Amino acid sequence: MLATFLIEIAFAFYVIWRYKMTVITRLVVVILVCLATFQAAEYMICGGMGMQGGTWSRLGYSAITLLPPLGIHLTLAIAKKHSLPLLIAVYASAVAFVAYYAFATTAISGQTCYANYAVFDTHAASASLYTLYYYGWLVVGVGMALNYSSTMKKYSKALRSLALGYSAFLIPTTAINIIDPATVSGIPSIMCGFAVILAFILVWRVAPESIAVKDASRSLWLKFKY
């Protein structure tokens, strides 16, 4: 958990240092920070160090709840598409769950740390809705990225990479849960463990490919202009 946190937070600082801040690079940085925040929360739950485990659990859940809307927003930004109703819907649903997990006293009742992942005991009534929210928007985001990549060749590499990054933690987590249903209670922890793959893909594929497309377009414009 600590090693993953250090990787993800270092990647965030690298993107800030390496690239000019645009909508795309800002979204990449925010995603990396959210991933790192969850890993830090897991580490604090296992090792104590200050705040109570429940407080860290709320912080961690709030961070990962933002991943689906950020992925959809990044997809739209890379593809140069605008869909305000979609963004309002996805961010509004995320804010609702963040508020619930941050302030509802019964939202998260306990935490257990195992050798490889942490288990968060959430309110049973909210678990199904949260799963529907999370998997639903992730599938929408991956589908959008793949759809745009097939119709927009200029941005296809970056969009396919983004779809691969989100699928890299969605598919393995689902497979583990099917093989061993007992791991369902550890979905957030297991999913964010695989999400380090997303971090690598964001830094080494999505960000540079998006910037390369932008720079190439600028060069063509300069040649045309002069």
Report the CATH superfamily, name and number, of domain 2-109+117-215: Rhodopsin 7-helix transmembrane proteins (1.20.1070.10)
Rounded CA separation 22/14 (Å): 15
Write out pLDDT tens, residues 60-78: 888 889 999 999 999 999 9
Write out pLDDT tens, residues 18-63: 988 899 999 999 999 999 998 888 777 765 666 665 677 778 888 8
Q: Between 57 and 143, where is the model more confident?
A: 143
Write out pLDDT tens, residues 178-206: 676 655 555 666 666 778 899 999 999 99
Q: What is the pLDDT of residue 201?
A: 93
Residue 195's φ and ψ, nearest 5 degrees, are -70, -10
Domain ranges of the chain: 2-109+117-215
Rounded CA separation 68/50 (Å): 29
Residue-averaged pLDDT of the chain? 79
Please give the biggest Cα pair distance in the chain: 65
User: 54, 67, 37, 60: which is closest to 142 by C-alpha?
Assistant: 67
Element (DSSP H or E) covering residue 20:
none
